[in-house]
Amino acid sequence: MLTISDDERRRRLQVRHRLSETDHATDPDDAAASLLALHASDPASVYLSVLARAPEAKLADVSAALYERRSLVRLMGMRRTLFVVPGDVVACVHYGAALPVADRLRRGIVKDLEKLPTDPAIEGDVDAWLTDLERATIEVLGVRRTATAAQISADEPRLRTAILPVSDKKYDIRRTINSRVLTMLGAYAHIVRGAPRGDWTSRAHSWEPASNWWPDGIEPLDPAAARAMLAQRWLRAFGPATIADLQWWTGWSLGHTRTAVAALDTVEVALAAGDGVVLADDLDETPEVAPRAALLPALDPTPMGWKHRDWYLGDHRDALFDRNGNIGPTVWWAGRVVGGWAIAPDGGVRWRLLADAGAEAEAAVAAEAGRLEPRLESTVVVPSFRTPLERDLSGA
C-alpha cells in the first residue's frame, strides 16, 4: 500500500486551498471552487475565506458573486449546515446531501405539530395542513419576489402558528413555526436566501423564489450518482483522506460513504491518521511549496475539512475550538495552524502564535494582518461561535 506522508498532505493543502505564496485565487468564484464549498453558518466567514485566498478581491466582489451574478449560492447542505457553493456544484449538493436534511426537518415539524399544543390549534391531518402551508408560502414569495420572514408571515398568517411550552424549563418557550418552515423550504430549494438586511456580517436576510436562481429548476440527479460526484469533488480538494473524514464532512451514513467511494476510481493509501483513499489519477507528489501566512476565519472550510486534524492542527485544539467543535479564526503557515487571530473593537487585527514557526513566519503574519485591516473597511467581525483565544485577543 502506498504511503502518503503528512508533509505531502500539507503541501497539497497549501496549493489546492490557495494558501501558498504562488497559488492565489483570482476572484470569489475561483476561491469557492478550490474549496468545493464555503461554510456559511456565519455570513462573515464567506467573505473572510475569500479575502484570505484572493488578494485582489474586495468585500463588494463577494456580494456581487452572491447577489448580482448569483454565481455563488447560499444553501443548506452537508450536516444540516449552510454553505456557499459554485453553481456547478449545486445539483450534487442538493441531491446528494440537502434533500435528506430537508426530509428530516419536515418530519421534525410534523412530529412537533402532532404531539405538542399549538396556538391556534391545528384541526385534521397535520401533514396535509403543512403541505398546504408550504404551497401557500411559495406562492406568497412568488408574488413578492423578495421578502423577509416577517413579510412572508404577514401574508400567510399560518406561519405564525406557535408551538406552546409544556414545562417550566427556561428553554421551553412559545415558538412560532415561521423560521422552521422557511428553513425547511430552503433545504428543499423551493426558496433561496437572498441579500442580507444590513452589512455583509448581518445574519438577517431576505428570501427569494428558487426561480430567481434556476428558472428551469435544478438539474435532476440520481441521489447515489450525486453522492459519488460530491465524493469525487471532495477528494479532489481534500484528498487523500480517510473514509471517516469524508463521512464526517458529508454527514452521510457509513454505508452511503463507502458506496460513493466505491463508485470512483480510487487507490487505498496509508496515512498517519489511518488507512485512506486518494483518486487514482492524483498520486503524483506535490513539489516544494513556498509558504505564506494566512488568516483564516472561524469555520473556514480548510480547518473544518477533515475529522482527523492532528496533521495540521497540532495540540492547539483547546485554544481554537469552542465546546461544540466549532473552530475560531486561525493563523496558518506552511500548511499548519500556528496561531489564532481576532478583530478588536477598534477594528485592529490582533494575532498570537501558539507555536514557534520562526522569524520569517512571524514577519509574514504581521504583514498579512496589516494587509487585512483596510480590506475589512472598518468592520468589527465577531464570530458566531466564540473560542478562548478569539475572546482573549478581542478583549471580549
Residue 78 CA to residue 80 CA, distance in Å, equals 5
pLDDT digits (tens, 9 = 90+) for 259-298: 999 999 999 999 999 999 999 999 999 999 999 999 999 9
pLDDT band at 50 (very low <50, low <70, confident <90, very high): very high
Residue 40 CA to residue 77 CA, distance in Å, equals 10
State residue 256 phi and psi, 5-degree precision. Answer: -65, -35
Q: Which of 2, 83, 137 minimizes the C-alpha distance to 305? A: 83
Angle of helix 99-115 relative to helix 178-187, nearest 10 degrees?
150
Mean pLDDT within 124-152: 96
Query: Domain-by-domain residue ranges, the chain?
Result: 97-212
CATH 1.10.10 fits 97-212, yes or no: yes
Residue 187 CA to residue 393 CA, distance in Å, equals 36
Residue 53 CA to residue 247 CA, distance in Å, equals 26
Could you tell me the CA-to-CA distances from 179 to 53, 109, 149, 171, 209 in Å, in that order?
Answer: 33, 11, 7, 17, 16
DSSP for residue 395: T
pLDDT digits (tens, 9 = 90+) for 300-315: 999 999 999 999 999 9
pLDDT digits (tens, 9 = 90+) for 58-117: 999 999 999 999 999 999 999 999 999 999 999 999 999 999 999 999 999 999 999 999
The enclosing H or E element of 289 equals none
Could you tell me the CA-to-CA distances from 395 to 102, 344, 389 in Å, in that order?
Answer: 39, 7, 10
Mean pLDDT within 143-169: 95
Please say whether the beta carbons of 222 and 202 come within 8 A: no
Mean pLDDT within 364-381: 96
pTM for this entry? 0.95
Residue 396 has pLDDT above 80, yes or no: no
Q: How many CB atoms lie within 10 A of CB 39?
A: 25
Q: Rounded mean pLDDT of the chain?
A: 96
Mean pLDDT within 225-249: 98
User: Which residues, including other chains, have CB under 8 Å from residue 179's CB and lie 6 or more apart?
Assistant: 149
User: How would you classify the pairing of strands 2-3 and 266-271?
Assistant: parallel
DSSP for residue 285: P
Cα within 13 Å of Cα(391), Cβ side: 12
Cα within 13 Å of Cα(339), Cβ side: 24
Q: What is the pLDDT of residue 101?
A: 97
